[in-house]
Chain A
Amino acid sequence: MAQNTRTVPAGTPTNVTQKHTKGGIGESTLRPDGTLKVTGEFAYSSDMWHEDMLWGQTLRSTVAHAEIVSIDISEALAMPGVYSVLTYDDLPAEMKNYGLEIQDTPVLAHGRVRHHGEPVALVAADHPETARRAAAKIKIEYKELPLVTDEASALAPGAPLIHEGRDDHHIGHVPHPNIVHRQPIIRGNVEEARKRADVIVEGEYTFGMQDQAFLGPESGLAVPSEDGGVELYVATQWLHSDLGQIAPVLGLPPEKVRMTLSGVGGAFGGREDISMQIHACLLALATNKPVKIVYNRFESFFGHVHRHPAKLYYEHGATKDGKLTHMKCKIVLDGGAYASASPAVVGNASSLSVGPYVLEDVDIEAIALYTNNPPCGAMRGFGAVQACFAYEAQMDKLAAKLGMDPVEFRQLNAMEMGTVMPTGQVVDAPAPVAELLRRVKARPLPPERQWETAGENADVRALPGGLSNTTHGESVVRGVGYAVGIKNVGFSEGFDDYSTARVRLEVINGEPVAMVHTAMAEVGQGGITVHAQIARTELGVTQVTIHPADTQVGSAGSTSASRQTYMTGGAVKNTCEAVREALLEIGRRKNGSYHPAWATAELLLEGGKVVTDGGEVLADIAEILEDEAIDLELEYRHHPTVPFDLVTGQGNGHVQYTFAAHRAVVEVDTELGLVKVVELATAQDVGKALNMLSVVGQIQGGTTQGLGVAIMEEIIVDPKTAKVRNPSFTDYLIPTILDTPTIPVDVLELADPKAPYGLRGMGEAPTLSSTPAVIAAIRQATGLDINKTPIRPEMLTGTL
């Protein structure tokens, strides 16, 4: 473009009145999708609608492990209103399986089902009820096979192999083909260190199978396109990962599968795996009509993977002055019938199994099993949650045995910056573990036993049993418990964990406007809010539009592992910086000769203007840009990590660590076995809060999910049949507003120098320590030794 011909910016530079652009990082700006969500206009995946669309239905296995002898679809196909019935034989491509890391999950069962609820056949019909009835008419003959349901049955001599002829890259180092992955970590010398121990405690812990229980059901709409491809509108956590699994089984090149994120009603890890995506596409391609699939709640419990239930065996030692000497543990995770994210969960469980403590002598082993139980994979906290429950119970046991205060004991052993992890990795950013504990402890306790002080005026709704008016406080005891946890941020172990952002800056109606386009899944966490804040901060513009997330832009990676603000936020930041440079370059070209500051000063973009770091205005962004647009797409990577050594577990495997602490105050009705959590105080370090309102909301939400697993949440799998017994919100309980206490939150901001703005991924950490804190409080209240989640009334009343 020719040297500019318009008037020179005002001769005398002026001071900027508004130093920072409003709505930038650090402010609690409101969600851009808030208005749509409160008016009911926000289009969630289950709200998709298309003229002439059909409804898809999945038929799922009623048994956990069986050979499929025959499938008869004729009656279903003959029903009026039914357009298509598909089974394994109708799959169009050579590739018939999918999976996050190991492609072991059949799109539709072939020859054999490996868990209760596995998809076997699909129906498309003109009314959802017709589709359901047709699916019920499909006749399947099963020949049941012996079950593998736990470590003993999986590893017994002659145990049936869940995946015969495995050829994945873990098979070479696992001791048995029913073990998905095994990660030992050996450091120091446990036998020697044990000799220094004055006390030793051992424990065996059981962690139940938790469900993500997001409210928005798995759903979406597939629309066949004219070029033989398909458009898919779906709720997911990672569009590009889905795409990479969908296209091969459809036999289509990736560019013929165009994906757009539709409204996501929560995820928590449960949307990392494929659910209805491929099924809807298959039906749409088979019928050449748009097909919508919406799971009901029952099916949702079969449609996604759950949190790994676990058995954890721990031994710790400590000296009488309270220093940890050694730790030995074995963690057995039940991965269920298919691999999903099990290998990565194993890596996390082992590498974070010591917790946020200094421990030089360790002997750790984590494994995940293949069984005929429901498949397990990603859920908020990802392997760190199960370990935290166990090591925090151990800390309380040690403190009790030493006669020490449990918080002081933890503080004495707390890791800090510079601590060496059991993997040999040095913690190179602030790790304020002792401080977080101090903060939750220092907070004033909630008023004692209100029914005694308030007398007649006591509100029985606040007692255990709540609204049901079960007590006036007669047998209610109170306890206080503490816990702290450590979680890694981002994808570890050498994974190429990048994110992409496209940013366009242009002038619309005389105003500079930035458009941010990423494939990041907004699942409720508030990513789109901070993307707009970042763009405002970096580009000094007020108006930012967020482009819908789709596969027309490069991958943003997964909305999981607490990584999105770090990674896609980092990508938006970097790309904005490049756009800013490009803009300044145009500015220099056009106006450089009019003011020396263009060449000499540090230039910033603020309030729609180019300013020097001294606050002098050089030009309007709009004037520089005129009708040009700057449009850049860049990738962003965090510093590299390496896989853990398969024998010693050594290696700089993690990107960043994040920490949270909890203090729980609970009241327990020991006659009825009912628990009321009175308060769940939280302290967390977030590095830098880009949006405090969202940060606090995430911490409270994560804390509540941890509370849920402590006192009510568990998918119950019948050990004799491996069938799920409680796939409904009537039987699988998640906390209501009555079960959830006040959650005061204390946020620390100790910057991590390597992270964008110094931030620390923070979505998962609060889920870790909330469970052990609640259970510690229940132990303290009742004096019972509880080593299991969730706590059930019969465990508290001695009627088990």
Chain B
Amino acid sequence: MRVNFTVNGRPQEADDVWEGESLLYVLRERMGLPGSKNACEQGECGSCTVRLDGVPVCSCLVAAGQVEGRDVVTVEGLAEFAKQRDEHGHGGACGTGGGCGSKGGVSLDEAKRWQSKPGDSQTGEGVELSNIQQAFIDAGAVQCGFCTPGLLVQADALLEENSSPSDQDIREALSGNLCRCTGYEKILDAVRLAAARQSEAV
């Protein structure tokens, strides 16, 4: 089957998709966007979390066919997504075109012009990061980093809704994301740091 949807603001078309393929598989193996991670493919670890029409979901549990006509943001588009949100000042669930344009997202035209920013692919130098991405680096919340993309998408969604979450709020929001390396303390630090920076910026 063919699936049409928007990924990080760009209209995409996937052909020959087998009915059982997950959104995660389509993103990773067909769209060349391996940022969303495959750790359990069972909805248990949150490593594959993306925003689907603004709602954080485990992309391993979403059948590819379900995203027809919908709007997906992955970790690869997170910085741009956050930037658009800041610029357009909407707390909306959706920063891109697709079905959300009327709610203050970017126009389809803008979306089509979106492309990933060039940067040093070895070190990532010169790459523009969102607040939460920078905070994860600064707080030392990244070790192996396999859980990181999912946590970033989830944490960004939390901060969008709740700009000054309590520790228990953070724990509740991130309870579906496993991390085997860090012991979570530095992940908490990172979310607190991002929240503090966000409130400073306002």
Contact = CB atoms under 8 A, between A and B. Distances in A.
Classify the secondary structure of B's interface with A.
loop
Interface stretch (B35-43, B61-69, B102-110): B35-43
Contacts of A728: 40, 42, 44
Nearest to B149: A40
A265 B144 contact: yes
B37 A736 contact: no
Interface residues of A, number: 67
B196 interface: no
A800 interface: no
Classify the secondary structure of A's interface with B.
loop
Contacts of A694: 140
Contacts of B171: 461, 737-738
A49 B182 contact: no
Interface string A439-461: 00000000000000000000101
B96 to A, nearest CB: 17
A34 B182 CA distance: 14
B146 A704 contact: no
Contact of A34 (B45, B79, B142, B175): B142
Given A37-B148, A213-B180, A297 B42 contact: yes
A696 to B, nearest CB: 7
A600 to B, nearest CB: 40
B123 A216 contact: no
A445 B115 CA distance: 52
A213 B176 CA distance: 16
Interface string A455-497: 0000101100001000000000000000000000000000000
Given A41-B76, A265-B144, A697 B182 contact: yes
B198 to A, nearest CB: 16
Interface string A10-34: 0000000000000000001011111
A463 to B, nearest CB: 11
A526 B42 CA distance: 29
B180 A266 contact: yes
Interface residues of B, number: 67
B114 interface: no
B39 A467 contact: no
B145 A697 contact: no
Contacts of B14: none
Nearest to B117: A39
A293 interface: no
A266 B45 contact: no
A40 B36 CA distance: 7
A524 B178 contact: no
Contacts of A190: none
B182 A700 contact: yes
Contacts of A266: 143-144, 146, 180-181
Contacts of A730: 42, 44
Given A213-B180, A696-B140, A743-B185, A40 B76 contact: yes
A459 B168 contact: yes
Contacts of B26: none
B44 A40 contact: no
Contacts of A459: 166, 168
Contacts of B140: 28, 30-31, 693-694, 696-697
B59 interface: no
Nearest to B38: A46
Contacts of B6: none
A656 B175 CA distance: 38
Nearest to A42: B145
User: Most chain-B Cβ atoms within 10 A of its Cβ — which of A35, A217, A467?
Assistant: A35
Contacts of A31: 137, 140, 142
Contacts of A704: 182-184
A40 B34 contact: yes
A700 B184 CA distance: 8
12 contacts: A37-B145, A38-B145, A40-B33, A44-B37, A265-B37, A459-B166, A701-B143, A701-B182, A702-B183, A705-B180, A729-B40, A736-B176
Closest 5 CB pairs of A and B: A40-B35, A35-B124, A524-B144, A700-B183, A265-B146
Interface of B: 18, 20-21, 28-29, 32-42, 44-45, 47, 74-76, 78-79, 119, 121-125, 127, 129, 133-134, 136-138, 140, 142-149, 152, 166, 168, 170-172, 174-188
Given A38-B148, A44-B146, A297-B44, 7 more contacts: A39-B133, A461-B168, A697-B181, A700-B184, A729-B42, A737-B170, A740-B185
